[in-house]
Amino acid sequence: MQTLIINIKELLQTRETSVLKVSGSEMAILPTITNAFLLLENDTIADFGPMDECPKLDADKIVDASGRIVLPTWCDSHTHIVYAGNREQEFVDRINGLTYEEIANRGGGILNSAKKLNETSEDEIYEQSKKRLEEVISKGTGAVEIKSGYGLTVEGELKMLRVIKKLAANYPVTIKSTFLGAHAFPLAYKENHAAYIDLIINEMLPKIAEEKLADYIDAFLETGYFSVTETERIMEAGKKYGLRAKIHVNQFTTINGISACVKHNALSVDHLEIVTEEDIEVLKNSETIAVALPSCSYFISIPYTPARKMLEAGLPLALASDFNPGTTPSGNMNFVVATACIKMKMTPEEAINAATINGAYAMGLSATHGSITIGKKANLIITKPLNSFYEIPYCFASNLIEQVIIDGKKFA
Ligand code: NIG
Ligand code: FE
């Protein structure tokens, strides 16, 4: 099946040869072709270029994209889409003056979601989660990482990971699964952290590996959650099962976590609302990418990741949604890109690079996703008629998407 998209006003993120990621000043350059064509062969990008080089062929389907922008779908490398119920009461509690930390200390937060998750059946969790997945795909996400971490029991964590596996089997988007047993200490282990980490390492990980339920391992490295030493134990254990680390770190405080993650060759360090000069130094010359989550900063009113400082230091940066019931009940990547521009002073070019090719890198998917490159997945956003692609972040609350194409087919 051949689909030929013609008269594209501007085709974004066109790369003849694929790159793994873009860093520092390279992020300001977003390669594009104006008045372009794009040829899809089944689920793969087969050709692209300026309209005057458009091949004369009898394609099965021709789409006229006059006035429209076409870009690769968003690569959302950090989400917690699988959860049970909601936490809207905590939202109101925060409006009334409580902080995220105070709510967590009262038994709310992650433990609140864990209670709900463990009380809900796998089928029901699947039903709730698939609606969120469908929503994010319709808003332009074509590859997504989903974490466990609201089970915090052997059964609960396995249940979440099985739901992720089922979503991956039933939906055309690419899903990467991350085991986040080290998200918080259950109350029963409050005074005995080592015993919970033993449970993760000796009970959860072997079962997860046996059922091939995870691609990556995560921990919440933060004051009051998992210490550097505890997170190092988790990263080492994950490595034995081939699970590379993607770590929540520097959300509220900095406790030298980033250097531990780099030492263990983590694929990504996520959040980084608080970043020191030392953190930036250790990230240089590493293969670890920083992932910023601006809609989390927006929703719980915490600082934004200092993107400018990091790009000026030559670092790569990815953007992701962090979709979860506590700190970011939204997986809208258009909003993420807009907020990165508005609040983190990233240019539209930088933000789009961060949410496509660099997001792909943060999930180990650069070879197949994140750019318009021959041989990559035919995953595309076709916008409504626009003046320019700057309107994508400029109209920050509008849905400017006309069609989302996943694997060469329109996602209904
Ligand atoms: O990425 N910071 C840790 N984990 C999530 C929030 C978890 C929750 O509050 O449910 C985050 O923000
Ligand atoms: Fe998160």
Q: Which ligand is nearest to the CA of 328?
A: 1
How many C-beta neighbours within 10 Å does residue 309 have?
12
Nearest to 404 by CA among 146, 145, 144: 144
Amino acid, single-letter form, for residue 5 = I
E strand intervals along 280-407: 289-292, 317-319, 380-385, 401-406
Ligand 1 mutation target, pool 324, 328, 330, 336, most atoms within 8 A of CB: 324
Separation of CA 109 and ligand 1 centre (Å): 8
| pLDDT value of position 203 | 98
Element (H, E) at 138: helix 122-138
Q: Which ligand is nearest to the CA of 145?
A: 2
Separation of CA 150 and ligand 1 centre (Å): 10
Residue reference for tokens 């601006």: 294
| Residue boundaries of the structural domains of the chain | 2-72+371-410, 75-361
Q: Which ligand is nearest to the CA of 150?
A: 1
Laid out side by side, the sheet with 216-221 consists of 74-76, 141-147, 174-182, 216-221, 244-249, 268-271, 289-292, 317-319
Element (H, E) at 178: strand 174-182
Question: Are the beta carbons of 295 and 330 closer than 8 angstroms?
Answer: yes
- 32 forms beta bridges with 12
Q: Do domains 2-72+371-410 and 75-361 have the same CATH topology?
A: no
Amino acid, single-letter form, for residue 194 = A
Q: How many angstroms separate the CA atoms of 304 and 311, rounded?
A: 14
| pLDDT value of position 412 | 76
CA dihedral 55, 75, 329, 218 (to 10 degrees): 160
Amino acid, single-letter form, for residue 166 = K
Tens digit of each residue's pLDDT, the chain (412 residues): 999 999 999 999 999 999 999 999 999 999 999 999 999 999 999 999 999 999 999 999 999 999 999 999 999 999 999 999 999 999 999 999 999 999 999 889 999 999 999 999 999 999 999 999 999 999 999 999 999 999 999 999 999 999 999 999 999 999 999 999 999 999 999 999 999 999 999 999 999 999 999 999 999 999 999 999 999 999 999 999 999 999 999 999 999 999 999 999 999 999 999 999 999 999 998 999 999 999 999 999 999 999 999 999 999 999 999 999 999 999 999 999 999 999 999 999 999 999 999 999 999 999 999 999 999 999 999 999 999 999 999 999 999 999 999 999 999 7
| Ligand 1, pocket residues at CB < 6 Å | 109-110, 113, 220, 248, 251, 296, 322, 324-327
What fold is seen in the domain 2-72+371-410? Urease, subunit C; domain 1 (2.30.40)
Alpha helical stretches, state H, 252-293: 257-263, 277-283
| pLDDT value of position 107 | 86
Nearest to 65 by CA among 408, 410, 406, 402: 402
Residue positions counted in the chain: 412
Q: How many angstroms separate the CA atoms of 338 and 343, rounded?
A: 8
Protein residue whose Cα sits closest to atom 9 of ligand 1: 326
CA dihedral 352, 357, 358, 360 (to 10 degrees): 130
Sequence-ordered list of residues with C-beta below 8 angstroms from that of 315, at least 6 positions apart, any chain: 23, 24, 280, 283, 284, 290
Separation of CA 183 and ligand 2 centre (Å): 9
Protein residue whose Cα sits closest to atom 1 of ligand 1: 322
Architecture of domain 75-361: Alpha-Beta Barrel (3.20)
DSSP for residue 24:
G
